[in-house]
Structure 1
């Protein structure tokens, strides 16, 4: 019987400790300023200058940060990514608004693995195949797929996100 009382007391003490820690976290969150911006991991934030890069698209043309003109739509895809497949039609539609010269699709893979994406992307965007530590993946600090950006003519991020709804597609200038 004494063991039962000891277990009940121990359980009660642990519950009380958990409750105190929870109240401490809530109190700490309440003291945090309401306008604190929390950045999304895996994305450069708006206003960030993209890193310098040089690559070649599937047509053999050079692609670099200095060649971006006007607002450019950029999408990052990875083979085997279900979310990438789901958002591919939206990117194709948006690229139609931007135009092929101002749309860039980066597929993290070789040509064989990217074959599911190429028929849809090639007509509407310049396509670059990149490695996990390749120049474009590094320049945009990509850690999540899919990732989408609108880049301004000054090579700064205008908007970014995991869905095209996060981007100002209608504000093509």
Structure 2
């Protein structure tokens, strides 16, 4: 019988310790500053203006800030980037949606056609694809410092939303 009392006391002590540790974690989480909407280092925050740029898509059609004629989905990819490959299907699905379509979906891939070849078969049917070097104007205009990066931009050239995953964007409500 004495063993049972010892085991119950030990169980009670462990339960109390678990409760105290859980409360400590909750207290720490509450002390963290609230950020409101998600922001990511290297991604323009909502409301930021996109800089001026001039580029050509793979069909040699010009692209500039003036071509942002409605909500436009813009994705930045880099060859060899595992996260970019993981986000590719979500970007393709969003670009294929009625909210955007091929004219209001832009995919910017760093490098040349050979290095970007893993993305081109998926992107070309659903978006205007632009190949850029790391120092070209589209990357600078969007201040891209991380890959992948995704944006929804309005007709005035302001970022509606940005993130490192397509799920970070309000793509379903972008009609």
Q: What's the TM-score bracket when you normalise by the shorter of the two chains?
A: 0.7 to 0.9
Could you tell me how far 1:172 is from its partner in structure 2?
2.1
Could you tell me how far 1:67 is from its partner in structure 2?
1.1
Instruction: Normalising by structure 2, report the TM-score.
Output: 0.78
Could you tell me how far 1:56 is from its partner in structure 2?
0.2
RMSD: 1.9
1:75 aligned partner: 75
Equivalent-residue separation in structure 2 for 1:50 and 1:132 (angstroms): 17
Equivalent-residue separation in structure 1 for 2:145 and 2:174 (angstroms): 26
Give the secondary structure class of the aligned counterpart of 2:109: strand
Provide Cα deviations, 1:126-146, integer angstroms capped at 9, x if missing partner: 000001111011111111100
2:153 aligned partner: 151
Instruction: Normalising by structure 1, report the TM-score.
Output: 0.79
Provide Cα deviations, 1:103-156, integer angstroms capped at 9, x if missing partner: 000001111101111110000000000011110111111111000100011110
In the superposition, relative to structure 1, how do residues 86 and 35 fare at CA in structure 2: closer, same or farther (>3 Å)? closer
Give the secondary structure class of the aligned counterpart of 1:93: helix
Give the secondary structure class of the aligned counterpart of 1:141: coil
Matches within 5 A, 1:1-173: 30=31, 34-35=33-34, 39-97=39-97, 98-173=100-175
Task: Identify the range of structure 1 (109-118 vs 37-46) with the bigger mean alpha-carbon deviation.
Answer: 37-46
In the superposition, relative to structure 1, how do residues 115 and 154 fare at CA in structure 2: closer, same or farther (>3 Å)? same
Equivalent-residue separation in structure 1 for 2:61 and 2:40 (angstroms): 32
Q: Tell me the matched-pair count.
A: 145
Contact 2:40 2:164 in 1 (8 A): no
In the superposition, relative to structure 1, how do residues 102 and 36 fare at CA in structure 2: closer, same or farther (>3 Å)? closer
Could you tell me how far 1:36 is from its partner in structure 2?
5.1
